[in-house]
Structure 1
Amino acid sequence: MVKVHYVIAVAIVASCVACINFSCIISLFYKYINRHEIIDIRQLNWTSSVRCSLSNGTRLCSFKNVCYLPKKHLFLFTLTEHSVLLGLSSKEDLKTIYLSSVVNHNLMSMKIAIVSNENKVTENAMFIDQSLFLLWRFKWDNIMHVFHDDLIPLFLTYLDICGEISRCTSKYTLGFVDRGEGGPYHELYSLFSNQQPLLLHKYTNTVCFPELHSGVLSSSVWFQYGFGQTQGPVNTSVPIEILHQFKDYVVHRLGISKKLVNNNAVIFLNRKLNRKILNLEYFTSILYNTVKEAYPSSEPKIIELDLTTHNIALLIEVFLTSKIVVGMHGSAMILCLFLIPGSVVFELLPFGIQPENVSFIKAFTEITGSEIVYRSWVNCNETLSFAHPEAPPLLGGIYHLPKAKQEFILNTKIVPAVECCHDPLYLFRMFQDTEVGSDFIPRFQEALLAQQLFSKETVKTTYLNKLFSSWYFPAPATNVSCTFQHQTLTAMWQPSINAIDSLIYDISILLDNNTILSKFTPYPNLKINLSYTAYTAEIWIKAVSFDSESLDSHSKCQRKI
């Protein structure tokens, strides 16, 4: 080990002939040991520090000088007298740092072990001079989870900590803490990393980094999967504009050129492995004829897509240029994020499955103000449903269950909202194949009619009204004054600058430090006839509108003697 350090030292001295300051030496030292030299971290006087803050209830932390032990899946925090710990009230806070936006799932917390500088676990460590952003991918091989649980929350977190996406993407290398592989959507993750993301579990030695960031905001999440509660939509505080920014960023980084929208194109998301539509020829003819009837001047073009035979950039490009998407419930529906306003999303669901419980795209269109026309069709004819009781349990099989449980599942016709993750009734119904019946036609016709009546301005106005009502509160009254004249007290003020018709003013008055009066008025002035001659008055004014109110405004006056 001494020999290795000697060689590095010689190289540094040789490189610093024209640069003799300390920062140059440190920079070159990192440059040389970044060649994945195995070193003893203890000889660097290695000291860890951490700074944390809370954002929307999520703990965001930046660590300095932290190592990772792949075999134990542990982060090693070297505590010395020089360590700085900010934003933490106790050691318990170190147990509530989460590396995923998925809430109520303790597997995805950052596992930290406090060690001393004498701990031998770091003596054969690999030093990598990169700033790492830690991410636990929930399901790295499922496109819906990639976007909803990882990339959109990551985008939002980058905005929070860096202000601009480019600052974070140029600073951080993604480090995956899950045990997954690169996966089919590795290209998408790479858009948010200044180098190829690292699979931390692939390292054999302890690996150390000068800087780590942990914590992923969950405020963009609009659907939850039933951890500690039944699955279904959740409210999100992220405006649609942020999702538009995310979409534009992905499109730009993938190098997709925006093309004219083809109003005749109908995307049909065809599942080929499971949850299949069995009467495809009949179904595609329905699509063609119904669209042709709704738009007689056009010639519909059915574009059949699926995740197994098309790369993600091509899929996104097609979604950007189409206005109608039809398909069986599945992860590919998340690509409707890339549709333009006024597009139709028509989702089909197997017998017994309720869209309000399982449809993340329905939740997206309702919660975020996405400007998309969403409609659904649920197969209500069990004779047109084909289950697979013989399949593996995770694909809807039930033969492994006791007979009584099998009978219960077969006799249950509507699946309620369930908790995660492997409810056999939910899986049995979810993985049914379907023959689409003629009752699909009027539902699809209604969707196309809604598209024809769609007005972007109406949707925008509705969204802005909802946004305003959620965030509006009156501004305080200003320039408050009061005067006495005989036994009359007069108070005057400038009204709230954002006053609306329903606004009233809640007035509290304290006379001579003992008598309290309360009054309401819609006007920016008030006269009160007193029952006795008061000498001092303190006035507090609060503007009130429905369930919101302003800060107090205050004034004090005294009778002239």
Structure 2
Amino acid sequence: MRAIGCRMNLPAVLNGLLVSVVAALLWKYVWLIEHTSQLEEELQLTRQSQEFSQVRIDYHGALLALQEHGTRMVCTGKMHTDRICRFDYLCYCTEAEEFVFFHSNASVMLPNLGPRRFQPALLDLSSVEDHNTQYFNFLELPAAALKFMPKPVFVPDVTLILNRFNPDNLMHIFHDDLLPIYYTMQQYSDLDDEARLVFMEGWGEGAHFDLYRLLSSKQPLLKEQLKTFGKLMCFTKSYVGLSKMTTWYQYGFVQPQGPKANILISGNEIRQFASFVMERLNITREEGDDYIVVFKRTTNRLILNEAELLLALAQEFQMRTVTVSLEEQSFDSIIQIISGATMLVSMHGAQMITSMFLPRGAAVVELFPYAINSEQYTPYKTLSSLPGMDLQYVAWRNTMEENTVTYPDRPWDQGGIVHLEKEEQESILASKEVPRHLCCRNPEWLFRIYQDTTVDIASFLDVLRETLKKPNLKKAKVASTIHPGRVREPKCQTSVQATNEAKLSVSWQIPWNLKYLKVKEVKYEVWIQEQGENTYMPYILPHQNYTFLENIKPFTTYLVWVRCIFNKNLLGPFADVLICKT
């Protein structure tokens, strides 16, 4: 009977064990939900496959730190246009779509601007300066309010929080996003390959999201994804904003588009970044025969006689010609080809940003449709002309109206004009050149820029022959951009010859770094200013000493500055001012 009883109770025992196991599993599941200790477990709630963080944090420790210490913020930069802020425990409410700064007795907020923070914002989230769709600010709450809010989800990664400006346009991707992100990350040692990018502008991934993935080993996060992680997300350490030091162009929001007034980047930094991208894409620059690349567009702004153009280029330069197309080829395969090209030829368009991957000495040839003034649209001319890019730039413009095909019936954003009043349509059709204008919906600009063009081969080749320096088509050597140091031991001697005549002798030693450099031309600039006057007399001298007689008055105090110049335009700093009394 006992044996039978044991056999009969076995299912009950198994059921009991099963219930215990399920209960333990359920308890463990609930514990994981309530006490999330790492971003990986939260990110698994998303439907997308992602690289997850392996950084573990003490959830209760993080929560206690937030409650006791609140949010802490320290920023660099004087104005919202040049400010980047570092935060500890900056939070984001996904329901309100607002960042939250939690105040405690230990909170830090530098700068503490008070209401000036809203004039107009704490900082720009993108690298496009002072654009009203890119402003960043936060709400403020006492840390005590956390008791009444959803339990926060902590992001353990160091994050860089920013806005992409236009992730559907390759020029904007490189100029406004990738370059600024790359060099912002260079400024802060903890924004390394393990940092996570967080994009808050609200766009989807876009056509070139893989390019953003090159900047970090972590999957970037989109604003829309944050909602799936929790109602309150807290970034344990984050940087907010982007450096604008790498941008060279403004798009015409306030004044017609053109180069930035104060460009702070050189071709050297652009090429360093291009090398980084090529390395991440496993592209090596191949040396071989010279060849010309023609960028092919397939939907608008077409070159209607492309085959004729290719043949003319091949015959003129005795090189093979190849075409590339963003619509038909992978981005990395295009960069592989462009990185070894001698010349890049393209209609004006975002694809020309790839010219940053050309080797030194190569030529950039930009084509413009009818009625488009090439001098008014110069992002790629400006890029090519940056010191250290070492690219030749040529612009060709179609001046023959019979060689253009227009599309007035298309939608407005593709250049159509039929939606306009008849008088405005007729004015646009009669115009020979698009007037200067602001971004971004000028109908005449859109109508003309989306034209197709038959390139007049004769005028095209004339422009190339006139502009290109053929010897430089070969790969150029890196030009030196090393500046002189300060001249050393500057001295002055004075003497009075007569009541109305005096002389001033100035001498100095060469800059310390000159003895280690091979410099073709060394000259010195001397400024002499009579004390109390606003003007000065400048001199360019080939030697390290000189006696000045002209305009030197007796019994007068002069201020004298001296600096060195390499190769005509590489200026050194002035030495300390000399005070010389005659």
Q: TM-score, normalised by structure 1?
A: 0.78
**1:552 equivalent in alignment to 2:577:** yes
Gaps of 5+ in 1: 13-26, 511-517, 532-536
> Whole-Å Cα distance in 1 between the matches of residues 361 and 201 of structure 2?
38
SS of 1:118's equivalent in the other structure is helix
**Cross-structure match for 1:84:** 108
Which deviates the most, 122-131 or 141-150? 122-131
1:400-434 CA deviation, whole Å, 9 max, x = no partner?
A: 11222222222222012321111111101111122
**1:306 equivalent in alignment to 2:319:** no
> Whole-Å Cα distance in 2 between the matches of residues 10 and 106 of structure 1?
39
**Cross-structure match for 1:430:** 449
Aligned partners of 1:373 and 1:451 also within 8 Å: no
**Cross-structure match for 2:397:** 378
Q: Cα 1:64–1:556, aligned 2, differ >3 Å: closer, same or farther?
A: farther
**Cross-structure match for 2:132:** 106
Q: Which amino acid aligns with 1:270?
A: K
**Cross-structure match for 1:278:** 304
Q: Which of 275, 282, 290 is equivalent to 1:248?
A: 275
> Whole-Å Cα distance in 1 between the matches of residues 404 and 268 of structure 2?
40
Q: Which amino acid aligns with 2:413?
A: L
**Cross-structure match for 1:161:** 188
Q: Cα 1:212–1:221, aligned 2, differ >3 Å: closer, same or farther?
A: same
Q: Cα 1:525–1:345, aligned 2, differ >3 Å: closer, same or farther?
A: closer
**Cross-structure match for 1:178:** 201
Q: Which amino acid aligns with 1:193?
A: S
User: Deviation of residue 289 (structure 1)?
Assistant: 3.6
Which deviates the most, 44-53 or 135-144? 44-53
Q: Matches of residues 393-542 of structure 1 in structure 2 within 5 Å?
A: 393-443=412-462, 445-446=464-465, 450-454=469-473, 460=479, 464=481, 475=487, 478=490, 495=508, 497-498=510-511, 501=523, 503-504=525-526, 506=528, 523=545, 541-542=560-561
User: Deviation of residue 492 (structure 1)?
Assistant: 8.0
**1:119 equivalent in alignment to 2:119:** no
Q: Cα 1:278–1:72, aligned 2, differ >3 Å: closer, same or farther?
A: farther
Aligned partners of 2:266 and 2:386 also within 8 Å: no
Aligned partners of 1:262 and 1:323 also within 8 Å: no
1:88-127 CA deviation, whole Å, 9 max, x = no partner?
A: 5555247231121111312112131122213358424322
Aligned partners of 2:67 and 2:143 also within 8 Å: no
**Cross-structure match for 1:342:** 361
**Cross-structure match for 1:21:** none
**Cross-structure match for 1:212:** 238
Q: Cα 1:540–1:424, aligned 2, differ >3 Å: closer, same or farther?
A: closer
Aligned partners of 2:159 and 2:237 also within 8 Å: yes
> Whole-Å Cα distance in 2 between the matches of residues 525 and 440 of structure 1?
56
Q: Name the Cα RMSD after superposition.
A: 4.3
1:359-386 CA deviation, whole Å, 9 max, x = no partner?
A: 3212211234422222122211112212
SS of 1:415's equivalent in the other structure is coil
Q: Which amino acid aligns with 1:98?
A: D
**Cross-structure match for 1:74:** 98
> Whole-Å Cα distance in 1 between the matches of residues 34 and 129 of structure 2?
48
> Whole-Å Cα distance in 1 between the matches of residues 151 and 416 of structure 2?
48
Aligned partners of 1:294 and 1:445 also within 8 Å: no
Q: Which of 341, 345, 352 is equivalent to 1:326?
A: 345
> Whole-Å Cα distance in 2 between the matches of residues 185 and 519 of structure 1?
56
Q: TM-score, normalised by structure 2?
A: 0.75
Q: Cα 1:46–1:311, aligned 2, differ >3 Å: closer, same or farther?
A: farther
Aligned partners of 2:266 and 2:387 also within 8 Å: yes
> Whole-Å Cα distance in 1 between the matches of residues 96 and 35 of structure 2?
36
SS of 1:201's equivalent in the other structure is helix
> Whole-Å Cα distance in 1 between the matches of residues 353 and 103 of structure 2?
44
Q: Cα 1:414–1:118, aligned 2, differ >3 Å: closer, same or farther?
A: same
User: Deviation of residue 335 (structure 1)?
Assistant: 0.7
> Whole-Å Cα distance in 2 between the matches of residues 459 and 253 of structure 1?
23
**Cross-structure match for 1:15:** none
User: Deviation of residue 530 (structure 1)?
Assistant: 7.2
User: Deviation of residue 270 (structure 1)?
Assistant: 1.1
Q: Which amino acid aligns with 1:291?
A: A
* Number of residue pairs matched by the alignment: 507
> Whole-Å Cα distance in 1 between the matches of residues 525 and 266 of structure 2?
27
**1:237 equivalent in alignment to 2:250:** no
Q: Which of 225, 231, 252 is equivalent to 1:226?
A: 252
**Cross-structure match for 1:187:** 210
Which deviates the most, 60-69 or 358-367? 358-367
Aligned partners of 1:349 and 1:379 also within 8 Å: yes
**1:387 equivalent in alignment to 2:409:** no
**Cross-structure match for 1:128:** 155
Aligned partners of 1:290 and 1:445 also within 8 Å: no
Which deviates the most, 3-12 or 229-238? 3-12
1:145-199 CA deviation, whole Å, 9 max, x = no partner?
A: 111111112222223333xxxx633242111011111222222111212311111
Which deviates the most, 71-80 or 247-256? 71-80
> Whole-Å Cα distance in 2 between the matches of residues 366 and 538 of structure 1?
44
> Whole-Å Cα distance in 1 between the matches of residues 350 and 439 of structure 2?
17
